[in-house]
Amino acid sequence: MQTSLECLACFMQQALKTGRLSSRDTSVQHRVVNEVDRLVSDLDMSLSPPENAVLVYRLIAAITNENDPFAAAKKKSTELVLTIRDDVRRRIETADNPLYAAVQFAIASNIIDYGAQHEFDALETLSRCREQEFCIDEFDLFEQEINQYAGPRILYLADNSGEIIFDGLLIEQLLKLGCTVNMVVREGVILNDATMKEAEECGISKLCRVMTSGVICPGTPLDSCSEEIREAFRTSDIIISKGQGNFETLSDVDAPLYFFLTVKCQMVARSIAAMKNISQDRLRGRGEMILMRKVTEIC
């Protein structure tokens, strides 16, 4: 998915928000906005939004001398989710279809996104996710594909901290079904994305192998990732792609991908609507839940 003009406006909103998180000095905040404004005019629009976001956040860090402005937000979201993890696990294990219930919670938790254009009530979304219908629901294909392999190899591309705890609950169900799971997190700190630190803190690294992508980007630009990750793409039976950033960087990649996300952006909504040939009235980028198999042609 390429960067659009709308993405440039979003970068400016993120610059202001991140500048204020990074520094209380209004002159520094002003400099952030001014310099990001100059930067976005020269961005390569053929790149995906997450790839261009790398340049935006690198510039903000250089101006403010703050490399992890979302540290407090990440800590808060992790602590919040940990307080409800056991309750959610019980709900999953007592559901008629525990795998589907785990998928619902994992996708609903993708609302925990500090780079999104709109604010959402994460707790409210999580509490009602079992009753909310998916805008696109291809779980049957996902379940069938799992069952057609004898111990399928699954590559799980994580997105944000906090929500990674719900990814862990889904991984527990996949392991019970005989799957082999490898998780990929970001190489380093960017936005509130999950890194090896978060994977270790919440116990994911005890459940399955965790790898880093080889790139500090809020997505998975495959050509820039490590050879280890590219090899994992080639050898995995199923790849679970969590979140918008991973969708934006992988929507054109030929691989056995399933996209798990909540849609928080009109441009992502338009892209998915075009791919699946559905009306934009159904998909507006307002927190709709999506589980869809990668398609190779845009309708």
CATH of the domain at 104: 3.40.50.10880
The answer as to whether 173 is a domain residue is: yes
The answer as to whether 189 is a domain residue is: yes
Shared domain for 11 and 97, answered yes or no, is no
State residue 120's pLDDT score. 46
State residue 282's pLDDT score. 87
Shared domain for 264 and 242, answered yes or no, is yes
Q: Give the residue among 269, 270, 232 at the shortest CA–CA distance from 253.
A: 232
State residue 175's pLDDT score. 97
Shared domain for 75 and 60, answered yes or no, is no
State residue 298's pLDDT score. 38
Domain carrying residue 21: 5-64
Supply the pTM of this predicted model. 0.93
Shared domain for 59 and 77, answered yes or no, is no
160-198 confidence digits (pLDDT tens): 998 999 999 999 999 999 999 999 999 999 999 999 999
The answer as to whether 34 is a domain residue is: yes
State residue 112's pLDDT score. 63
Shared domain for 198 and 122, answered yes or no, is yes
Q: How far is CA 261 from the centre of its chain?
A: 7
Using the predicted structure, report yes or no on whether residue 86 has a pLDDT greater than 70: yes
Shared domain for 48 and 78, answered yes or no, is no
Shared domain for 236 and 211, answered yes or no, is yes
Shared domain for 146 and 281, answered yes or no, is yes
Which residue has 């057609």 as its token pair? Answer: 148
The answer as to whether 298 is a domain residue is: no
Shared domain for 95 and 218, answered yes or no, is yes
**SS3 category, 242:** strand
**Per-residue pLDDT band at 296 (split at 50, 70, 90):** low
Answer for the pair 212, 185: CB distance below 8 angstroms, yes or no: yes
209-238 confidence digits (pLDDT tens): 999 999 999 999 999 999 999 999 999 999
**Per-residue pLDDT band at 113 (split at 50, 70, 90):** low
The answer as to whether 299 is a domain residue is: no
Looking from the CA of 279 toward its CB, the CA atoms found within 13 Å total: 2
Shared domain for 169 and 228, answered yes or no, is yes
